[in-house]
Amino acid sequence: MKVLLHAFISLRWIAVWRRNARVWRRLAGPALLGNIGEPLLYLLALGYGLGSFVGEVEGMDYITFLASGFVCASVMNTASFEGVYSAYTRMAVQDTWTAML
């Protein structure tokens, strides 16, 4: 049974995984900088800039009120962007999916 199962499992995925790992290592620094820098920029601009006009929201500072929303928005934006953009790039730009077929 084990010999039969091994015949159906292809190991070609290892080359694709290795390539994706190399690309991720090369692009990890700029990606992390953007994923952390953009929410911090918005938090500073809206929290301190607009926060001076707003004051308190339900008993807490405006910047504290915004921080939880920016963390959630950043996580959702990063997750959706990574999934959609990488799939689009591999399908339309690099033709990786076509090559695997």
Mean pLDDT for the chain overall: 81
16: left (phi over 0), alpha (psi -120 to 50) or beta: alpha
Q: Is the pLDDT of residue 41 over 60?
A: yes
Q: Is the pLDDT of residue 4 over 60?
A: no
Q: Is the pLDDT of residue 8 over 70?
A: no
**Which residue type sits at 80?**
S
Q: Give the integer Cα–Cα distance in Å for 64 and 40.
A: 13
* Structure confidence at residue 28 (pLDDT): 85
% pLDDT > 70, the chain: 90
Region of poorest pLDDT, from 7-11, 21-25, 73-77: 7-11
Query: Where in the chain are the domains?
Result: 29-100
* Structure confidence at residue 18 (pLDDT): 92
Tokens of 53: 């006009």
